[in-house]
Amino acid sequence: MNTTITPLASSALWLADVTPAACSKKQLNWLLDQDSLTRKLQALSANFQVQVRQQVTVSRSKDLLSPYFSEDNKVLVREVLLVCDDKPVVFAQTEIPFSTLTNQQAKLAEIGTDSLGTFLFQDPSMRRDKIEVAQFPVYSAVHQLCTDLNQEVDFPLWGRRSLFYVNNKALLVSEVFLPASGIYLP
């Protein structure tokens, strides 16, 4: 199992309320879609699954994490691949501060290979904050991940992140669209 957190927060410049000029209309539709990515991927594939790369507890001193939960000493980081028809199409990283993992939300730490999106979008208390987007340059850590997955790529990749609130408790979900996702095709 991998033990190094993929540095999504520090690998790119995350922008909110900006439409990146370098994005195609197709890419923007995927990046800015407010609906469940899990449902969208399930609809486009015969076999959808979640592969857990790692789930680790880290201290806030990690420079690899977003600045959102600086008041929390410990954060649960979950890294998964969303796989459609045996091809990894999205790399997702979730940051859940320990202050969120109380009461009903404690089950977030135990979802295993279940989709976090399914959990979130079925919860009536869930609300989503604005979506931030980022472009990951060639030779970034995300590109190394693609190489490890046998998805060689020589162009920048796009990702998005947003805060979700369940019973007013926050968690951050970041998603990077891998080459096999199809969003980069004309």
Residue ranges and CATH numbers for the domains of the chain are: 8-181 (3.40.1410.10)
Q: What is the pLDDT along the chain (186 residues), one digit of tens a residue?
A: 456 899 998 888 999 877 787 889 999 999 999 999 999 999 999 999 999 999 999 887 667 789 888 777 899 999 999 999 999 999 999 999 999 999 989 999 999 999 999 999 999 999 999 999 999 999 899 999 999 999 989 999 999 999 999 999 999 999 999 999 999 998
Question: What distance in Å separates the CA atoms of residue 3 and residue 15, rounded to the nearest whole number?
Answer: 28
Please name which of 47, 16, 11 lies closest in space to residue 31, comparing C-alpha atoms: 16
Pick left, alpha or beta for residue 139 (phi over 0 → left; psi -120 to 50 → alpha; otherwise beta).
left
Task: Report the predicted TM-score, pTM, of the whole model to 2 decimal places.
Answer: 0.95
CB atoms within 10 A of CB 181: 24
Query: DSSP 3-state assignment of 2?
Result: coil
Q: Where are the beta strands (DSSP E) in the chain?
A: 15-16, 48-59, 74-84, 87-97, 127-128, 132-136, 157-166, 169-177
